[in-house]
Amino acid sequence: MLTHLLVVDDDVDIVELLRRYFSTNGFHVSSASNGAQMRKILRAEPVDFVILDLGLPDEDGLVLAGWLRENWSGPFIMLTGRSDTVDRIVGLELGADDYVTKPFDLRELLARVRSVMRRSDRQVAQGAQSTRLVFEDFTLDLTSRTLTRGGGVDVPLTTSEFNLLQAFAEHPNQVLSRSQLMMHTRGNDVGAFDRSVDVQVGRLRRKILAHGQPDIIRAVRGVGYLFVPKVTAS
């Protein structure tokens, strides 16, 4: 089956450009020009990937990014013409898997979409051959790609957050550099000094702390991060 790509953008020229390009590269492409249409499509049919423009006229793209992560489990990339890095950081905070700025190269956008999809597929395949990783009061299930605590209370994670936590749990008490962590969450198509990994770690930390657990991810100044709890497989 073709990968179903949903393009959310009010610029008809960009939508048609992406429709033609991705269709010739093995995708089934749908489009929405506003948030209401996006929600309607996602509720009505299965969608594998979303490209979301942050500059929609009816509703702020960052609001829609937050809605996606709260109500939809698939990966998405932000498409933005904004030069302010704050918007990109906020988007990553909200759970976006990557971002591309306008004007963009079609080949780069395709490569980033495929990179995010490969990481997601690889994590699922690895999880199917693995077990559950238990640390503190948490259980990370690599098959169902879920994190639970205590008596089975679900802790919602984005795709990037799950990949990041899996990297930590599979390398406990081992300092991981930002570039190593970026390989797990976004692949090798970004620079080793991309600070968005700090955003993702911070977001993951807050979710763990929100469940009454200690800070189990420690920053190692000038190097990266250390996952400190004992991890056992079950």
Q: What are the pLDDT digits (tens) for 132-167?
A: 889 988 999 887 888 998 878 888 888 788 888 988
Please tell me the predicted confidence (pLDDT) of residue 84: 64
DSSP letter string, the chain: --EEEEEE-S-HHHHHHHHHHHHTTTEEEEEESSHHHHHHHHHHS--SEEEEES--SSS-HHHHHHHHHHH--S-EEEEE----HHHHHHHHHTT-SEEEESS--HHHHHHHHHHHHHHHHHHHHHHHT--EEEETTEEEETTTTEEEETTTEE----HHHHHHHHHHHTSTT--EEHHHHHHHHT-SSS-TT-THHHHHHHHHHHHHHHTT----EEEETTTEEEE-S--EE-
Q: Which one of 1.10.3720.10, 3.40.50.300, 1.10.10.10, 3.40.640.10 gives the CATH number of domain 130-233?
A: 1.10.10.10
The residue extents of the domains of the chain are: 3-122, 130-233
Please tell me the predicted confidence (pLDDT) of residue 82: 64
0.85 cut: is pTM over it?
A: no
Summary mean pLDDT of the chain: 83
Q: Which architecture characterizes domain 3-122 according to CATH?
A: 3-Layer(aba) Sandwich (3.40)
Please tell me the predicted confidence (pLDDT) of residue 123: 53
Task: Decide whether 3-122 matches 130-233 in CATH topology.
Answer: no
